[in-house]
Structure 1
Amino acid sequence: MGEKIKVLRESRGMSRPVLAGLCNRGPDWLKKIETGERELRSHTLLLALAAALQVGDLSAITGTNTSTPVPLGRLTHPGMPDIWAAVMTRSLTVSAAKPVDPAVLQGRTDQTWRVWHASGRNRTEVGALLPALIRDGEAAARTLDGAQRRAALVALSDIYRLTGQATAYVAPAELAWVVADRALSAAQDADQPAAIAASAWNMGNILRETSYPEEALRVVQEAADLIRPHLDEAPDDWRGIYGALQLHAAVTAAREGKEGDAWRYWGKGDQVAKSLPPSYVHPSTVFGRANVDFHAVSVATDLRKSQKAIGLADDIDPDTMPSIERQARLWVEVARGHLQRGDTTAALHVMQMAHRIGAETVAYTPSARTVAADLWRTAPRALRAEAGRLAEAVGIAAAG
């Protein structure tokens, strides 16, 4: 069984830490499974491994003749069909209608980013605005020329980056890659370093979440090298996206178990934050002092340093973070830390907070759903009802 798991993992380009993390376990646990040092008897963990490896039947791992289907259903959202139509059916002809003014288009895009960070129902509200933004952005980029076209391309790159955020984990893989590539292509056509760096940050997210951590690091490092020469005279937002690239690299390294690299990248982001005004927040990545501190918790959690993660979280004032989406994700990370320590009561309390702050962030983020599912399965009798209500609210109980 261990050899089968290893072959499947490697055939999908997944590292051991990534696959183990998807099962909420450490790489040493998976190594022992793969080498046969440890027997895997838990049916729940077998299903988790099979789902992470996208294996449709458990017999592909167990080698038995008994068929056991593995639920591989993708999360869905009612806004996806309209977004899919806007992205995948763009016209090949130029519209005769007057294109949107690039400044107006950028203003609408910036406002939609603010909705993403400010709303507890951000996927639903942003998803309703994206189809028109995508079509208007495409029309402006294709019909304008000169400086106006470059401005429209920057806005279009921002629109596609936001589309990637709003459809993460609910979009089919082909749409995720199309959106990431269009964001980067538009930025490169605009020849604007900050836009290129921001779209590379977005591309890095896609690469990391699809188990290409080395490629994710390469992309964000190249983007950092591209924008670094401009930083001395650049606006604050250029330094903000440079800092966001460092935090991205920190989390990517942490998920690979590279502790030294993870904290080195985090330190670079920390230095960038210190060079910016204390109240500075990047409009789309929300890079700033609070986000650097939030990422320290994420890095410690991904490195399975739960005690350190919880200690760092104790020193954070969540209200300093203007993004509801990021606040909710912080509490999910803290809940993960509590679960790593075996403190189910604290983890449940913190997850309930995360859900109250950002219900859709919890419901549509795999790590949050994993925590909710683990709580539902392992909560002590006194907390079982509360854990069940959380699982139902997140959609775990309904999915079985």
Structure 2
Amino acid sequence: MDSQDELSLGERIQAIRESRGLSRPQLAQLCGRGPDWLKKIESGERELDSYTLLLRLAAALQIADLSVLTGTREGPAQPVPLGRLAHPGMPDVWAAVMNRALARPTRPSAPADPALLQGRADQSWALWHKSKYNRSEVGALLPDLIRDGEAAVRSLNGGQRRQALVALSDIYRLTGQATAYIAPAELAWVVADRALAAAQDADQPAAIAAAAWNMGNILRETAYPEEALRVVNEAADLIRPHLDEAPDDWRGIYGALQLHAAVTVAREAREGDAWRYWDKGDQVAKSLPANYVHPSTVFGRANVDFHAVSVATDLRKAQKAIGLADDLDPDVMPSRERRARLWVEVARGHLQRGDRTAALHVMKMAREIAAETVSYTPSARHAVAELWRSAPRAMRKEAGELAASVGILTV
């Protein structure tokens, strides 16, 4: 590639694709997209600003270092993961999910209590949002939670079994959150499917909607935005007839589905649709108590406002995103994980404007709030790597320290 340093990203993708003997439809299929999408990327008609898709393209082209594809030779090495980011808690979670007992227990050691199981699931969700090291701390609890949830469902009947199924769905949703970007793809899909299947077996609309929100996350992050949007819209249609007399948490998950759709279409550059979905979420938040926060999705007034920043950033409206962020009080958000992701979005906006000093400052804030959110989220890692590559000499040491702290190679 030394002779092709002046090529655009799209031209470089085309050159490597042709050198690998791949047709455009073949490469597009490996990325889960259509040939027209790839044609627009290669011609420069469409920007490739999704880090997930960039990694998928690199892996499909059998490139071990992302900089070969992007043409950025300076700065840290950017290895293309063959699997996912490594985390020490992953093997135990994998064993709990994949080694599920097949036989119904004949004599359980103690009667299963679905209310107790639900309480443990709720406490674990609360820990996810409160802990600076949420993946590690929640990941340590998940293996026992998964096994106990499965045992409860197999040992109970009737209404108690349905309660246990709702709790098990919540546990698998949390497993999906805690293992995002560190779980092998097959586990991510198994977990999302089990969360949805348990909720459907319980026949509880709010649980089904919450599991669909989780499934939408998996679909969107694996480059299936159309399917993600379909799933969350179907879930919204399912729960909408119940909203007038439903508990607040039912409306909370309905609002979370609207925000999910807003971000999904914003990443596809559908500006009008993105703000229409955001407006629907905004209206739901206005119908709820001012201090309402959904226990798992943290939907509420603050999260709606945070999502406005995310939508603007994904639409590459950096000035608007930063202006919206300037009017926010991050401390009203009880979730560390969500506060950290807000600052990641703000950093992305500063990078879009070329303000590396501000981007470095807020990325350091994000890591201080929730270290593992930054270390294990691709958009955050991409922002940190970009900061390291583009940092001026005066910021080089500081940017390198940040990159090293989140596990990005800087030598």
Q: Which amino acid aligns with 1:56?
A: Q
Give the match for residue 196 of structure 1. Answer: 208
Alpha-carbon spacing, 1:133–1:99, altered in 2? closer, same or farther (3 Å): farther
Q: Is residue 162 from structure 1 mapped to residue 174 from structure 2 by the alignment? A: yes
Q: Is residue 34 from structure 1 mapped to residue 42 from structure 2 by the alignment? A: yes
Q: Which amino acid aligns with 2:81?
A: L
Counterpart secondary structure, 1:296: helix
Q: Which amino acid aligns with 2:211?
A: S
Give the match for residue 334 of structure 1. Answer: 346
Give the match for residue 388 of structure 1. Answer: 400
- The root-mean-square deviation of aligned C-alpha atoms, in Å, is 2.7
Q: Is residue 290 from structure 1 mapped to residue 322 from structure 2 by the alignment? A: no
Q: Which amino acid aligns with 1:35?
A: S
Please give the residue correspondences for 1:57-68 in structure 2 after superposition, counting only pairs within 5 Å: 57=63
Give the match for residue 141 of structure 2. Answer: 129
1:241-268 Cα shifts (integer Å, max 9, x gaps)? 0000000000000000000000000000
Alpha-carbon spacing, 1:294–1:18, altered in 2? closer, same or farther (3 Å): farther
Q: Which amino acid aligns with 1:353?
A: M
Give the match for residue 55 of structure 1. Answer: 61
Please give the residue correspondences for 1:1-400 in structure 2 after superposition, counting only pairs within 5 Å: 1=11, 3=14, 4=17, 6-7=24-25, 8-14=27-33, 31=40, 34-35=42-43, 52-57=58-63, 71-73=80-82, 74-95=84-105, 96-97=107-108, 98-397=110-409
Cα distance in structure 2, aligned partners of 1:187 and 1:49:
33
CA shift, 1:93, in A, is 1.3
- Identity among equivalent positions (%) equals 74
CA shift, 1:13, in A, is 2.0
CA shift, 1:100, in A, is 2.6
Cα distance in structure 1, aligned partners of 2:310 and 2:129:
18
Cα distance in structure 1, aligned partners of 2:87 and 2:292:
33
CA shift, 1:56, in A, is 1.8
Runs of 4+ in 1 over 6 A off after TM superposition: 15-19
Structure 1 contact 348–375 (Cα < 8 Å) conserved: yes
Cα distance in structure 1, aligned partners of 2:176 and 2:44:
40
1:112-165 Cα shifts (integer Å, max 9, x gaps)? 000000000000000000000000000001110000000000000000000000
CA shift, 1:9, in A, is 3.0
Counterpart secondary structure, 2:174: helix
Cα distance in structure 2, aligned partners of 1:17 and 1:293:
35
Cα distance in structure 1, aligned partners of 2:361 and 2:213:
32
Q: Which has the higher contact order (CA 8 A, sep 6+)?
A: 2
Structure 2 contact 384–402 (Cα < 8 Å) conserved: yes
Give the match for residue 25 of structure 1. Answer: none
Counterpart secondary structure, 1:326: helix
Give the match for residue 23 of structure 1. Answer: none
Structure 1 contact 240–282 (Cα < 8 Å) conserved: yes
Alpha-carbon spacing, 1:117–1:133, altered in 2? closer, same or farther (3 Å): same
1:304-342 Cα shifts (integer Å, max 9, x gaps)? 000000000000000010000000000000000000000
Structure 1 contact 376–391 (Cα < 8 Å) conserved: yes
After TM superposition, the score normalised by the length of structure 2 is: 0.86
Q: Which amino acid aligns with 1:9?
A: A
CA shift, 1:36, in A, is 7.0
Structure 1 contact 336–371 (Cα < 8 Å) conserved: yes
CA shift, 1:53, in A, is 4.7
